[in-house]
């Protein structure tokens, strides 16, 4: 499928009907609001009436409902669709055309203007080049974190301000608190959907003038609101995978940019078990896709424990996974969202991958490294991923994992 959303800015004003009857609100509830709540709603609406919010609309249900909620709160809402990827891929699926069509349908329903803008060059320069460099180093990067820092809260926000925005908003599941000139990134009420992990690299300036309308809503409630208000994205499947790869075959995609170099799969005692198709396709702790099957005299599943780039060898082990468990890690730097802590050593919580339960850690800030010691050993700490730190509901920030400490 060919991606042919115009690279030019598209400005379309769409007419439509209002979503709520007079004296009625569908924000998080299907009940009519009473006199007391109506007064509060009107007060908020009057306060926000002159404020313009540009909402990053992806064509999904989350950003659609974010736009709906902000309009019902009295903001002047404008939708902005970003195209971040150019090119054709015969082996995969490019959804930009379909996504943009959904944005048009939702904005028509909401009776709000929308724009389309192309950030493909910025994405290639700031995100995709980093992604390739990390894979060439044998690491496993997280480009979605970089996309937020380098695109959504970078050129996107700058462009939104040029459109006259007072705020920008997204459909991320997280919250924001502006207090005494400091902007705190907060976890979402729905812990299963919390996305602060992907926003850990944002700065204070990037978090200023930002709204996250979905902070207190669980995903089922978001879909219910979308369905009740007749939004075209109400039942749309959530996007999966790396943002620019989508549903494509990952190996085939990566082979277009990095030549695969085959090599041996070995154990630490020197046995050769098979052949790998390129170290970049494997990650620490991986069990599937090794294609080495059962070996005589061995019991248990095989898993990746090390990638030796110098000798192009993939090391595996089987049975007990002790080799995968580390007692800590270190980062070369950390993005501190509120500010750098005054203490050089402190306890907090941490995540080392998305959808992981928070783990207790002790952080030690050295002269040129930041050490994170685990309360309990952790499995498959992966170089190139992010270690994200938390203090209760606040996301403190995070950094790239350089090495696990065993």
Of 62, 86, 67, the residue nearest 3 (C-alpha): 86
Q: How far is CA 84 from CA 94, 160, 245, in A?
A: 11, 16, 11
Detail the DSSP E strand segments found in 24-166.
52-56, 76-83, 114-118
> Is there a catalytic annotation at residue 243?
yes
Q: At what angle do helices 61-72 and 219-228 cross, to 10 degrees?
A: 70
Pair of tokens at residue 354? 């998305």
* 211 neighbors 50 (Cβ within 8 angstroms): no
Pair of tokens at residue 32? 């009519």
The CA distance from 61 to 173, in Å, is 12
Compute CA 278 distance to the chain's CA centroid, rounded to the nearest angstrom.
Answer: 27
Which residues on adjacent β-strands are paired with residue 2?
88
**Torsion over CA of 148, 150, 151 and 152, rounded to 10 degrees?**
30
> Is there a catalytic annotation at residue 94?
no
Q: How far is CA 276 from CA 38, 262, 290, 314, in A?
A: 64, 6, 7, 7
Q: Where are the alpha helices (DSSP H) in 229-294?
A: 250-255
**Whose structure tokens read 């080392």?**
352
3, 20, 243, 277: the active-site residue = 243
Burial class (CB in 10 A: 0-12, 13-18, 19+), 284: buried
Which residues lie closer than 8 Å to 140 by C-beta, 6 or more apart? 134, 283, 284, 382, 383, 384, 385
CA atoms within 13 A of residue 396's CA, in its CB half-sphere:
18
147, 334, 348, 387: the active-site residue = 147
The catalytic residue positions are 147, 243
């Amino acid at each position: 499928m060919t991606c042919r959303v115009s690279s030019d800015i598209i400005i379309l004003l769409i007419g439509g009907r209002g979503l709520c009857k007079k004296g009625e609100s569908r924000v998080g509830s299907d009940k009519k609001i009473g006199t007391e709540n109506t007064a509060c709603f009107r007060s908020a609406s009057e306060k926000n009436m002159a404020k313009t919010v540009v909402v990053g609309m992806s064509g999904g249900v989350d950003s659609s409902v974010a736009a709906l909620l902000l309009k019902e709160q009295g903001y002047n809402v404008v939708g902005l669709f970003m195209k971040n990827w150019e090119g054709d891929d015969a082996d995969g699926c490019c959804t930009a055309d379909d996504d943009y069509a959904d944005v048009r349908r939702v904005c028509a329903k909401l009776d709000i203007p929308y724009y389309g803008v192309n950030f493909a060059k910025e994405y290639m320069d700031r995100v995709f080049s980093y992604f390739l460099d990390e894979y060439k180093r044998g690491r496993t990067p997280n480009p979605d974190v970089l996309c937020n820092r380098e695109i959504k809260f970078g050129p996107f926000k700058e462009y939104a301000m040029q459109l006259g925005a007072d705020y920008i908003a997204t459909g991320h599941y997280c919250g924001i608190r502006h207090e005494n000139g400091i902007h705190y990134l907060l976890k979402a009420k729905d812990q299963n959907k919390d996305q602060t992990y992907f926003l850990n690299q944002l700065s204070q300036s990037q978090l200023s003038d930002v709204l996250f309308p979905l902070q207190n809503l669980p995903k089922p409630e978001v879909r219910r609101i979308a369905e009740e208000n007749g939004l075209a994205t109400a039942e749309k499947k959530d996007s999966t995978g790396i943002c620019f790869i989508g549903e494509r075959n990952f190996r085939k995609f990566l082979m277009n940019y990095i030549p695969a170099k085959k090599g041996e799969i070995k154990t630490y005692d020197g046995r050769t078990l098979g052949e790998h198709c390129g170290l970049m396709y494997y990650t620490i702790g991986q069990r599937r896709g090794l294609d080495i099957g059962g070996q005589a005299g061995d019991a248990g599943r095989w898993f990746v424990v090390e990638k030796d780039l110098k000798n192009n060898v993939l090391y595996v082990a089987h049975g007990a996974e002790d080799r995968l468990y580390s007692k800590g890690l270190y980062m070369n730097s950390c993005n501190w969202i509120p500010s750098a802590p005054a203490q050089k050593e402190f306890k907090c919580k941490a995540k080392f991958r998305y959808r992981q339960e928070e783990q207790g850690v002790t952080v030690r800030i050295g002269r040129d490294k930041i050490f994170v010691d685990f309360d309990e050993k952790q499995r498959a700490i992966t170089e190139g991923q992010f270690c994200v730190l938390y203090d209760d509901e606040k996301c403190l920030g995070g950094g790239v994992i350089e090495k696990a400490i065993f």
